[in-house]
Amino acid sequence: MNIAFFDCFSGISGDMCLGALVDAGVSLREIEKRLKGIPVKGYSLVSNKVLRNNISATKVDVLLKQGGQTDDRKWKDISRIIKSSRLPEEIRGKGHEIFRALFETEAEVHAQSLTKVHLHELSAVDCIVDVFGTLIGLSLLRVEEVYASPVNLGGGFVRTAHGTLPVPAPATAGIFRNVPVYSSDIPFELATPTGAAILKSMSKGFGPMPFMRYDKTGTGAGDRDIRNRPNVLRVFIGEMIRESPDGTITVIETNIDDMNPQIYEYLIEELLRRGALDVYLTQVLMKKTRPAIKVSVLCDREKREELITTILKETTSIGVRYFETGRVTMDREIKTVPSPYGNVRVKTSARGRDFIKSSPEFEDCKEIARETSRPLREILDELRDSAKKNKR
């Protein structure tokens, strides 16, 4: 699967997205050509190589021609433009989703209805070009999924039509709900509403770079050249590696010393039902040699927040810790094989073709032991030998 990973250590904006994709090899002229499918005129696109803290990056700007459309449009205007465009349905639908998120957030921030609000800080043309130019660029790179790092929001204050506001601006803050973000010591706005809406809508997950093999990189420049930090957005384009289960998982842990132990069974069931890869309990001694249970949960990073919420909701814990770790596992599958007792499920694990492990499904062995009144250990040994004969 072809994926894109956005490294947002210096925030994100619409023009930074465009710059990064052009820097990664997308033709700006091809983007401009395809943008003609949108009924918006009076602009041109230019790109230039610039330096940001001595790092080379591509800066893409939307230049409005004299007499071009500069008015702020309302939701009905933008929606009509999108629906009447000649863009592919997938791009048109995703752009509609991004703009609706922008308008809904602005309406919430300013206590207005969706039909009345308009985008004060965003030129309608700039915003349309940034959003659809990014979607077209990703399409040209054949990107199927987007992932991103936690987003640096910046700090300080930003001037808006509503006066000077703290960073992140209210619209950016609204869009980035439930997204991993942080604020560095840079006293500027680094993440804009347009960049936030694009990333929130496109990204399937936020965290460290996925297990991938990239062959293209791009660096998009922000407006400011910030001292001691490159104000750029990096994008990595390549293949999500799925042929091996090796990779990175998230481990969530918490220590509990004051909970009814009957609850653990339900907790484990709930965590597994909500997507945990594994859950296990360990007896530990805490301060003052107080006995406790350490709950450990293994999961994919996109399940982390939901599983943390489940732990805090269902237990007496008041906090958890989590970290990313690598793992190596064998390829696994469950096969049905014949036995003297009928068909039995067998778990088969392999690492290449060098070695293969097979084990009969324990629940099937239990059922056979009950039906035959034979000892379970004998059934396990017999079916394990049978599984070895049927290994692939």
In the chain, where the domains are located: 2-240, 247-327, 331-389
Task: Give the confidence band of 66 by pLDDT, cuts at 50, 70, 90.
Answer: low
CATH architecture of 331-389: Roll (3.10)
Highest mean pLDDT, choosing among 132-146, 151-165, 183-197: 132-146
The pair of three-digit structure tokens given for residue 282, joined into one six-digit string:
């360990």
Q: pLDDT category, 298, cuts 50, 70, 90?
A: very high
User: Which DSSP category does 289 fall into?
Assistant: G
CA geometry: angle at 251 spanning 245 and 256, to 5°? 150
Q: How many CB atoms lie within 10 A of CB 68?
A: 15
**Does this model's pTM top 0.95?**
no
Helices 376-389/362-372 angle, 10° precision: 130
- Tally the C-alpha atoms within 13 A of residue 391's C-alpha that lie toward its C-beta: 19
Please say whether the beta carbons of 48 and 58 come within 8 A. Answer: yes
pLDDT of residue 385: 81
Residue scoring higher pLDDT (283 or 109) = 283
Q: What is the mean pLDDT of residues 10-32?
A: 97
Nearest-angstrom CA–CA distance, 209 and 338 = 44
Identify whether the C-beta of residue 42 lies closer than 8 Å to the C-beta of residue 225.
no
Cα dihedral 202→207→211→212 (10° resolution)? 40
24-to-21, 123, 141, 234, 235 alpha-carbon distances in Å: 5, 26, 9, 9, 8
- What is the C-alpha to C-alpha distance for residues 377 and 241, in angstroms, rounded to an integer? 40
CATH homologous superfamily of 247-327 = Transcriptional regulatory protein pf0864 domain like (3.30.70.1380)
The confidence band for 390, taking pLDDT boundaries of 50, 70 and 90, is low
Look at residue 27 and tell me whether its pLDDT is greater than 60.
yes
Predicted local distance difference test score (pLDDT) of residue 352: 63
59 CB-contact burial (10 Å; exposed 0-12 / middle 13-18 / buried 19+): buried
Looking up tokens 């947002």 gives 8
Whole-number Å distance between alpha carbons of 19 and 221 = 6
Q: 345 vs 13, which has greater pLDDT?
A: 13
68 pLDDT higher than 60: no
